[in-house]
Amino acid sequence: MESVMDVVRKEAESCDCLQGFQLTHSLGGGTGSGMGTLLLSKIQEEYPDRIINTFSILPSPRVSDTVVEPYNATLSVHQLIENADETFCIDNEALYDICSRTLKLPTPTYGDLNHLVSATMSGVTTCLRFPGQLNADLRKLAVNMVPFPRLHFFMPGFAPLTSRGSQQYRALTVAELIQQMFDARNMMAACDPRHGRYLTADAIFRGRMPMREGDEQMFNIQNNSSYFADWLPHNVKTAVCDIPPRGLKMSATFIGNNTAIQELFKRVSEQFTAMFRGKAFLHWYTGEGMDEMEFTEAESNMNYLVSEYRQYQDATAEEEEFEEYAEEEEDAA
CA distance 7 to 268: 34
pLDDT digits (tens, 9 = 90+) for 27-39: 988 888 999 999 9
pLDDT digits (tens, 9 = 90+) for 303-331: 999 999 999 988 876 555 545 545 555 55
Q: Are 113 and 222 in contact (CB under 8 A)?
A: no
Other C-beta atoms closer than 10 Å to the C-beta of 48 total 8
pTM: 0.89
Q: Which of 153, 184, 201 is nearest to 27 (CA)?
A: 153
Q: Are 23 and 53 in contact (CB under 8 A)?
A: yes
Q: Which of 11, 34, 25, 14 is nearest to 285 (CA)?
A: 34
Position 96 pLDDT exceeds 70: yes
Position 107 pLDDT exceeds 60: yes
Helices vs. strands in the chain: H and E counts, helices first: 13, 8
pLDDT digits (tens, 9 = 90+) for 155-190: 999 988 876 655 555 667 888 888 888 888 889 998
* H or E element in which residue 206 lies: strand 198-207
Question: How is the chain split among helix, strand and coil, in percent rounded to 5?
Answer: 50, 15, 30
Of 194-203, 228-237, 285-294, which range is least confident? 228-237
CA distance 106 to 325: 58
Which pLDDT belongs to residue 321? 52
Residue type, 330: E
∠ Cα 195 113 28 (to 5°)? 70
- CATH fit for domain 139-261+308-314, picks 3.40.50.10800, 3.40.50.720, 3.40.50.2000, 3.30.1330.20: 3.30.1330.20
Q: How much is the CA Rg of the chain, to the nearest whole Å?
A: 21
The gap from C-alpha 272 to its chain's centroid, in whole angstroms, comes to 22
